[in-house]
Amino acid sequence: MEIGFRHTGEYPYRDIWLSVTQSEGDSIPPRTDTLHIYLTGEKGHWVQSGAMGGLYQHVYVSDKPVIFSTDSIDRVFRITHLMRQNPLPGISDVGIRLFLPGRVNAQEDKQQDGKSPQ
């Protein structure tokens, strides 16, 4: 699973805390993970892709597998920021991408660069 997000230079923090909740139907309890993602290095420079049209893009690749039960058709992912300020200035968009382990297509990834997180 990848979580991608983009922001402008107006984003005022060096990092972001996110809560990612995965739900499948009513009978399975939701699973929540908390992520702390650093967006700048020690000197305050953005660590990911440079500004494209004024946006900085960050991609977090989770090392935890996303597990789906075969009984459920409906799956819901909820990404929520855990920062004190609400709304967060400068956040443009957030997305999630699911893929099978070992099945990431590097050529397709190159074609997706600069596009909205899927």
Region at 50 (left for phi over 0; alpha for psi -120 to 50; beta for the rest): beta
As averages over each run of 10 residues, the pLDDT of the chain (118 residues) reads 89 93 79 89 75 81 72 80 94 87 56 51
- Residues whose CB is less than 8 angstroms from the CB of residue 59 and which lie 6 or more positions away in sequence, other chains included: 2, 3, 4, 48, 117
Q: How many CB atoms lie within 10 A of CB 5?
A: 25
Find out whether 96 and 5 touch, Cβ atoms under 8 Å: no
What pLDDT score does 89 carry? 95
What pLDDT score does 91 carry? 93
What pLDDT score does 17 carry? 96
What pLDDT score does 106 carry? 46
Read off the pTM: 0.73
Q: Rounded distance, CA 16 to CA 60, Å?
A: 11
> Nearest to residue 13, comparing CAs of 115, 80, 59, 82?
82
What pLDDT score does 94 carry? 92
Token pair, residue 106, equals: 């590097």
